[in-house]
Structure 1
Amino acid sequence: MLAYARDRRRWLLFGRPRQVGPEIHRRRATVLLESLLTLGPTFIKLGQLLSTRPDVLPPAYIDVLSALQDEVPPAEWDEARAVLEADLGPVDEQFESFDTEAISGASLGQVYRASLDGDDVAVKIRRPDIETLVEADLRVIRWSLPILMRFVDDSRSFSLENLADEFAKTIREEMDYVREARMLTEIQSNFADDERIVIPDVYEDYSSERVLTMAYIGGTKINNLEELDEKEIDRPQVAETLQRAYLQMIIDDGVFHADPHPGNLAVTEQGQIIFYDFGMSGRVDSFIQDKIVEFYIAVANQDIDAILDSLIEIGTLSPDADRDVMADVMELAIADARGEDIEQYRVQQIVGQIEDSIYEFPFRLPKNLALVLRVATVVEGVCVTLDQDFDFISTATTYLTEQGYREESIQRVLEESADQLRRAGESAVRVPPKLERTLDRVDRDDLFVRVGVEDSDQVFATLAKRLIYGLLLTMSLFSMGVLYALEAPEGSVVAAIFSVGLVLLLYRSFRSRRSIMAKPQFTRQNIRKRQRE
């Protein structure tokens, strides 16, 4: 954190900001990653959440933390058994058989295989005493937050405070298996008529707040390409099915599985996709859904202004941001996202460029949008692993067209255009009388104009400072000459020292990144340089 603070002020309390390259950020991120792993389950989850927040951390941190896997050695069976029997009763009476070797272990829970009424089931058990540990860690995070705020700028302090609240809410929800069962059942019902998607059934009578019993469905891990090819599974079709499933969840249903890494996705021998682990899941309200649709359509149409408008309305981009600079960012992002075929896109690259711009400016992300952003990048990565020629935008455009969203968008544009024409006609009738009254006031010398000047970049303050420094320097040099002529060497030395100080202040004023001549950091040259690095 001291190093991070020195990036803002070279000598902590004062000085110019430092230019720090991706390599230094990556090295620091690796240290942070090791610290999070050492601190245990809660902080592993915190690292996973941070990997979805480009408004809080630089892109290099996001890259490193996104590789953080939620895998830790399972607890001893005797400890897990105590939790299971406290909620459901004796294991031997509830299950026909129970394999005491965990098939997977995560930071908050672990999964076992068992047999129930002749069916294979997976039993997810919350880690023993994890609630106490999580609450203690959350207290540490909450108490540390005021200290942390002193090391970051004002624009990120609000994001960090929101992040702490969001994290506490998310991790408590993930420990609640009743909520997970409810979300799983809701998403399962949304895909009830889709034979391409498989979601395991929940055994409610054998589940509780700390235990979740589901049907066990085996399959091939979705990134095990060799085994998928051996079973002659159509990988491009699987990729398209996965992408369409998430488009349905986010755009249509408003409830989605938010942890689509390869460990939570498998493929049956018939090419169906199996979803596991609904602990991390989220909801999208109708407003965000509409704006996501508008964003996808704007990207498909390469309409830069529509992309910026969508980002502003969704709360990602500040209305005060320089639209010319952001238009360049979007234009380059789309250009960089094209493959060899000019119609090919890579949405992960688009999102990556947007994340860069979010950090550079920086902006905040709405809470659920951070999960959506993470889902979009992870899903696209899985799809490209399955099919190197996978075209996200083409799939999304086809889906939006099939569901009628593009036609609705065109209809809405036509309606808005008609409304604008109507308002323009009304204005054409109202303007001439107002113009005549204004000209009459000008003719009578009775017109006053009030002007308010916004100076968010402190241009006038900078000019005033330089003017004062210049006047003082002129006076100091004149005084030094006069004192030297009057044979007062001590006074002339003091004046000379004062003059040198003023010269340094003037030089610093012109060299500061807040100088009037400063240019935006996010330029074409910087993007290309960053990509090469």
Structure 2
Amino acid sequence: MIAYARDRRRFLLFGGRRQVDPETHRYRANVLLESLLDLGPTFIKLGQLLSTRPDVLPPAYIDVLSSLQDDVPPAEWDGAKEVLEDELGPVDDRFVSFDTDPISGASLGQVYRARIDDDGTREVAVKIRRPGVEELVRADLRVIHWSLPILLYFVDDARAFSLENLADEFSKTIREEMDYEREAEMLQEIKSNLAVDDRCVVPDVIESHSSPRVLTMEYIGGTKINDVEELDRRGIDRGEIAENLQRVYMQMIIDDGVFHADPHPGNLAVTDDGRIVFYDFGMSGRVDEYLQEKIVDFYAAVANQDIESILDVLIEIGTLSPDADRAVMTDVIELAIQDARGEDIEQYRVHQVIGRVEDSIYEFPLRLPKNLALVLRVATVVEGVCVTLDQDYDFIATATDYLIEQGYREESIRRYIRESGEQILQSADSLTRIAPKTERALDRLERDDLSVRVGVEDSQNVFENLAKRLIYGMLLTMSLFSMGVLYALEAPEASLVAAAFSVVVGIQLYRSFRRVRAIRARPQFTRQSLRQRRGDE
């Protein structure tokens, strides 16, 4: 945090920003990664959540922390066995066979393969909460909440907004993930919603072998969704899988209002017949009707490439600050749409846009409200999976087709026409009241009884900087005059003190006229950069 603060103010309390290269960010991110792994399950889960929050951390941190999605050290079987037997009884009595090597390790629990039924034909996946994790999580959450005020001191308002939401979201999410009964309910609800969908498959819950700390599900095997070589070997159409994945998630979020919220490759697989398998419903969420409506409006605006409507929706749902520079954000969104469509982006234009935003990189106007964080996480990770399956995948085209097929695009247009009509009526009503108000204002002006109050917004601190320069100038003039007088009075020691003071004030005055250097940024995570990295490899 001290290093982060020094990036913003070279000498912590004063001075301009300093230049930080991507290699330094990556080094710090790796140090953070090792610290999170040492601190245990709660902080591993926090790192996983941070890896999906570009509004909190720079891209280098996101890239490094994303390895936490799959690379979590396994716990010892003895501890897991103790939890299992406390909940269900002796392993040999409840299971025909049980493989003690975990097939999947998560920050809060581990998954094992086993067989049940008398003939041992039914294969299941048994998710067991890590031993002692409840007390550890409670203690770690206290540490995080105690540390939050200190962290907020080092960051700007936009990141403070995101960090406070992140802390609240994290506390809620991690408690929900430890509640396997809730996970079973969410799994069953999502399975019911997708029951007639032949594009995907959701495992059954084995209630007889489940409890608050153990969740037993039907085992469904498959090829990991990002294992493109194996998918090709099995003759599975990766482009079709990508499209099906996006469509299923759009249905869950827009239509059903309940969704699987952790779609990283470790939780997605593909069966031999091309169906998508969903694992691990510990992180799942709900979307209210208002947010569903705004998501539809957002997709419709993207489909129409209506940048102004996109900005309006982002402001309405609280993702974009109303004070954001719309001209800059227009360029940013245009580039994002091009990249989402898989189009080639002219690099000079990317650098041009970055040059316009880098002066305010720490005050970037994007933020994530609580009710949208999981949805954005899903959209970001799903697009990453789709691009892994098909580098030329057009995310927007699929969304547009889905909106048209479901009638959402026409509904959005009708709602826009209805709202526009209401605004016209309100405008007409306002016009009828303008004339008398204008006449009263003119009467007051004629009687010299009209006062005007003016509020000045100074987001760039122009007046503050001007005041500093005036003060520094007066101090410098005074110190130089004092130095000359003291020297004339043959007081060399005192004149040297005045000279030193003059030098310090002169340096501060000079620095106040210098343009603050921005942290240099370079474009990352575009499809072109992905292709270039793969080409280098």
TM-score normalised by the chain length of structure 1: 0.87
Residue in 2 that maps onto 1:367: 370
Q: Taking structure 1 as reference, are residues 150 and 138 closer, same or farther at Cα in structure 2, changes over 3 Å only? A: same
| Partner SS, residue 127 of structure 2 | strand
SS at match of 1:67: helix
2:186 aligned with 1:220, yes or no?
no
- SS at 1:18's partner residue? coil
Q: CA separation of 1:400/1:482 partners in 2, compared to 1, >3 Å: closer, same or farther?
A: same
Structure 1 window deviating more from structure 2 (178-187 vs 107-116): it is 107-116
Q: Which residue of 2 aligns with 1:31?
A: 31
> Partner of 2:337 in structure 1?
334
Q: What is the DSSP-based 3-state SS (H/G/I as helix, E as strand, rest coil) of the residue aligned with 1:62?
A: helix
* Native 8 Å contact 2:338 2:344 kept in 1: no
- 2:510 aligned residue: 507
Q: Structure 1 residues 338, 200: closer, same or farther in 2, change over 3 A?
A: closer
CA contact (8 A) 1:104 1:111 kept: yes
Structure 2 Cα separation of the partners of residues 413 and 155 of structure 1: 30
Inter-CA distance 387–357: structure 2 relative to 1 (3 Å threshold) = farther
CA distance in 1, matches of 2:328, 2:168: 32
* Residue identity opposite 1:16 in structure 2: G
Give the superposition deviation at 1:34.
1.5
User: Does the 8 Å contact 1:54/1:358 carry over to 2?
Assistant: no
- Structure number with greater CO (CA < 8 Å, separation at least 6) is 2
Shift of 1:413: 1.6
CA distance 1:187–1:495, change in 2 (3 Å): same
1:189 alignment partner, one of 192, 208, 218: 192
- Secondary structure at 2:259 match in 1: strand
Q: Which residue of 2 aligns with 1:112?
A: 112
* Structure 2: runs of 5 or more not aligned: 346-352
Q: Map 1:29-68 to 2 at 5 A.
A: 29-68=29-68
User: Normalization by structure 2: what TM-score?
Assistant: 0.86
For the Cα contact (< 8 Å) 1:246–1:256, is it kept in 2?
A: yes
Is 170-179 or 470-479 further displaced after alignment? 470-479
Counterpart Cα distance in 2 of 1:379 and 1:359: 27
In structure 1, give the amino acid aligned to 2:140: D
> Contact between 1:57 and 1:359, CA under 8 Å: does it hold in 2?
no
Q: Deviations over 1:275-304 (max 9, x none)?
A: 111111122222222222222222222222
Q: 1:34 to 1:389 in 2, by over 3 A?
A: same
Stretch moving more, 92-101 or 170-179: 92-101
Query: Which residue in the other structure is 2:249 paired with?
Result: 246
Judge conservation of contact 2:84–2:128 (CA < 8 Å) in 1: yes
- Do the aligned residues in 2 keep the contact of 1:45 with 1:70 (CA within 8 Å)? no
Q: Which moved more, 1:502-511 or 1:176-185?
A: 502-511
- After superposing the two structures, state which structure 1 stretch, 48-57 or 89-98, moved more: 89-98
Q: Secondary structure at the match of 1:110?
A: strand
Quick one: which amino acid aligns to residue 320 of structure 2? L
Identity over the aligned pairs, expressed in percent? 74
Q: Residue 280 of structure 1 corresponds to which residue in structure 2?
A: 283
Distance 1:357 1:295, change over 3 A: farther
1:92 lines up with 2:104 in the alignment: no
Q: Is the 8 A contact 2:102 2:111 kept in 1?
A: yes
Residue 178 of structure 2 corresponds to 175
Distance 1:68 1:355 in 2: 29
| Aligned counterpart, 2:349 | none
CA contact (8 A) 1:204 1:213 kept: yes
Instruction: Return the letter of the residue paired with 1:416.
Output: E
Distance 1:494 1:19 in 2: 34
- How far, CA to CA, are the matches of 2:101 and 2:156 in structure 1? 48
CA contact (8 A) 1:101 1:112 kept: yes
SS at match of 2:457: coil
What is the distance in 2 between the residues matched to 1:138 and 1:503?
48
Partner of 1:346: none
1:199 alignment partner, one of 191, 197, 202: 202
In the alignment, is residue 314 of structure 1 matched against residue 354 of structure 2? no
1:404 Cα offset (Å): 1.5
User: Alignment partner of 1:311: what SS?
Assistant: helix
CA-CA distance at 1:467 after TM superposition? 2.7
Residue in structure 2 matched with residue 453 of structure 1 by the alignment: 456
CA drift at 1:240: 0.8
- In the alignment, which residue of structure 2 is the partner of 1:427? 430
* Secondary structure of 2:62 counterpart: helix
Q: CA RMSD in A?
A: 3.2
Contact kept, 8 Å, 1:77 with 1:100, in 2: the verdict is yes
Q: Distance in 1 between matches of 2:72 and 2:233?
A: 31
The structural deviation recorded for 1:331 is 3.1
Number of corresponding residues:
516
Q: Distance in 2 between matches of 1:446 and 1:281?
A: 62
Contact 2:486 2:492 in 1 (8 A): yes
SS in 2 for 1:315: coil
- Is the 2:342–2:391 contact (alpha carbons within 8 Å) kept by the matching residues of 1? no
Structure 1 range deviating more: 471-480 or 108-117: 471-480
The CA deviation at 1:360 is 4.5
Give the Cα–Cα distance (whole angstroms) in 2 for the partners of residues 73 and 477 of structure 1. 66
Report the equivalent of 1:237: 240
Change in 2 beyond 3 A, CA 1:494/1:83: closer
- Please name the residue that 1:465 is paired with: 468
Structure 1 range deviating more: 264-273 or 110-119: 110-119
Indicate the residue corresponding to 1:137 in structure 2.
140
Aligned-partner SS, 1:266: strand
Aligned mates of 2:110, 2:492 — CA distance in 1? 82
Kept in 1: contact 2:158–2:364 (CA 8 A): no
